[in-house]
Chain A
């Protein structure tokens, strides 16, 4: 493989455009083609990047272009099939979160990517935010002792009337605030604390007719850690999406969100507060969030080296299983074991 990575993008929504811009500006990557169904968007792109061919059908793009890496930023329902086609075409792929509509849908992709040795990554971008990364290091370092009880939420003020577009249709999104948004929170929890063993969950719709606007769950992890999770896109006072996790440990307590990390340790008795400003590191190009640049850099680096990114489809599937169990539990009204939770 030459030093310059040839990249393609499938789906020019908000995230597709962000990745397109970042990849266009990063050294050592060249965007060679895009695929997008809406003619208006393709035409608009043509005025900005006239040298980049755009296709209405991504399969044609995969046939015609020699791409080292493809970014899959389509609506969720298409993630797995597009990613599978990328793998078969010999391209590495980066797929936006969540991986798919259900773990059952994702599992064949996980197996096939492993068989083919395809470099792949799922875009759980919170791993690339300074405060969450620092919290993970602190928890792993053992300074606070074993986690005992965890409370968490993810909120954004987004939807206060009937929504339209793919996010609010179950067939294209796989669900509402839980699968589209709170998958970030489930990811952070699985990343911090490992697999979840069982969940009980309740969902409520108010503004959406097909999907949930509110989700509340109680999670029990394989480690014995447990606690509630709450998520909504219809609460006021959250201009930007906010994830907050508070974990009571045997030797202290930690709270982390996008802005800061706060913790106290029984051993030194001190209160510690680290702001994102304390932890900030610049990125070569900033488009909407440093975390997107960092995840793209990591993926491209892995494609170049042929190594496996931290967050592959196997990981994406583990997160998906937790979300699936939450939907199952909400339907049945019972506590549900997470499939393959201990795997």
Chain B
């Protein structure tokens, strides 16, 4: 399935800013009114930009409900980002790890819950956490049921942990599970792009879909901007560039000049918060948006 050349990021809709928490709070205010999200997305769709990243953040569920009600959801190609990592970290801090696993299981509708009780129950009895990962994916994917979905991205918190641990079996399980159960392409978000390329090559992953940081400031490019550019030049992975503005730090013109100069970027994730901002961004990216 083809990737959209431009994918809208979701951070601005769910109150996340990697520039500062002040900026994040301003975003919460701006988009507390779903009408504004709708207005912006209608404009993007009219410009031919249909790709949209969305996590299973509780706020994202509200947005999806609204988009379904407005008939906008069918115009979008969704790229789920799972799981909603920060939420789990917070719950783990609040109720501990066993408490959190219980909450996850109980949050699923009864039909899924029954299948998890079988799969997850067996998994727990066998103490095999790899299989529990499947139940986890199922619960997270409920949010996106019935919507046009192009690929499922595993959150960088999990990918980077798995890469550092060399958790080949778990990553292979995710890869196969998403393909088999959902018929979708698995994707990986990472802040360790060269490490991913090295590991995935060794493990025999075939042309993985990877979302990773590329910006002229070198921000969040580990171990360095140069090493990431070298890994990109290998053209082993299909790359979706993220943090292209270095979390709002770079001016768009400069930022997209750099991204457009890179070889082999398949798609770009952009955060747009107003119609004017979206128009400027799409022009600067200057790509064939497939209209």
Chain A interface (Cβ < 8 Å from any Cβ of B): 13-14, 17-18, 20-22, 24-25, 38-41, 43-44, 47-49, 157-159, 161, 163-167, 237-240, 242, 257, 259-260, 275-277, 280, 282-288, 290
Tell me the minimal C-beta distance from B102 to chain A in angstroms.
Answer: 11
Tell me the minimal C-beta distance from B121 to chain A in angstroms.
Answer: 13
Could you say which of B39-47, B89-97, B262-270, B275-283 contacts chain A?
B89-97
Cross-chain contact B128 with A283 (CB below 8 angstroms) = no
In addition to A158-B90, A275-B249, 6 A-B residue pairs with Cβ atoms within 8 Å of each other are: A38-B97, A43-B129, A49-B166, A238-B21, A239-B16, A285-B160
Query: B-side binding surface: helix, strand, loop or mixed?
Result: helix
Cross-chain contact A282 with B246 (CB below 8 angstroms) = no
Which residues from B are CB-within-8-Å of A285?
Answer: 160, 163-164, 192, 195, 222-223
B151 sits at the interface (CB 8 A): no
Could you say which of B68-76, B139-147, B202-210, B213-221 contacts chain A?
B213-221
B261 sits at the interface (CB 8 A): no
B130 sits at the interface (CB 8 A): yes
Cross-chain contact A21 with B165 (CB below 8 angstroms) = yes
Q: How large is the interface on B (under 10, 10 to 19, 20 to 34, 35 or more residues)?
A: 35 or more
Tell me the minimal C-beta distance from A185 to chain B in angstroms.
Answer: 15
User: 1/0 contact trace for B216-234 toward A, CB 8 Å?
Assistant: 0111111111010000000
**Please, which residue of chain A has its CB at the minimum distance from the CB of B226?**
A282
List the 8 closest A-B pairs by CB distance, nearest first. A165-B96, A43-B127, A21-B164, A44-B129, A259-B20, A25-B164, A277-B249, A286-B191
User: 1/0 contact trace for B65-109 toward A, CB 8 Å?
Assistant: 000000000000000000000100110111111110000000000
Cross-chain contact A284 with B86 (CB below 8 angstroms) = no
Complex Cα distance A157/B93, Å? 11
Which residues of B, 178-195, contact A by the 8 Å Cβ criterion?
191-192, 195
Which residues from A are CB-within-8-Å of B16?
Answer: 239
B60 sits at the interface (CB 8 A): no
Tell me the minimal C-beta distance from B191 to chain A in angstroms.
Answer: 4
Which residues from A are CB-within-8-Å of B129?
Answer: 40, 43-44, 47
Choose one: A25, A47, A240; the contact of B21 (CB below 8 Å): A240
Q: Please judge, given known A-B contacts A24-B165, A163-B95, whether A287 and B160 are in contact too, CB under 8 Å.
A: yes
Cross-chain contact B220 with A21 (CB below 8 angstroms) = no
Complex Cα distance A48/B169, Å? 7
Cross-chain contact B219 with A280 (CB below 8 angstroms) = yes
Choose one: A13, A47, A259, A283; the contact of B19 (CB below 8 Å): A259
Which residues of B, 1-50, contact A by the 8 Å Cβ criterion?
15-16, 19-21, 24-25, 28
Complex Cα distance A249/B2, Å? 57
Cross-chain contact B97 with A284 (CB below 8 angstroms) = no
B274 sits at the interface (CB 8 A): no
Cross-chain contact B223 with A283 (CB below 8 angstroms) = yes
Which residues from A are CB-within-8-Å of B195?
Answer: 25, 285
Choose one: B19, B95, B191; the contact of A275 (CB below 8 Å): B19
Tell me the minimal C-beta distance from A226 to chain B in angstroms.
Answer: 27
Tell me the minimal C-beta distance from B56 to chain A in angstroms.
Answer: 16
B253 sits at the interface (CB 8 A): no
Cross-chain contact A164 with B95 (CB below 8 angstroms) = yes
**Please, which residue of chain B has its CB at the minimum distance from the CB of A25?**
B164
Which residues from A are CB-within-8-Å of B114?
Answer: none
Cross-chain contact B164 with A24 (CB below 8 angstroms) = yes
Complex Cα distance A57/B94, Å? 26
Complex Cα distance A167/B96, Å? 9
User: 1/0 contact trace for B148-184 toward A, CB 8 Å?
Assistant: 0000000001001101111101100000000000000
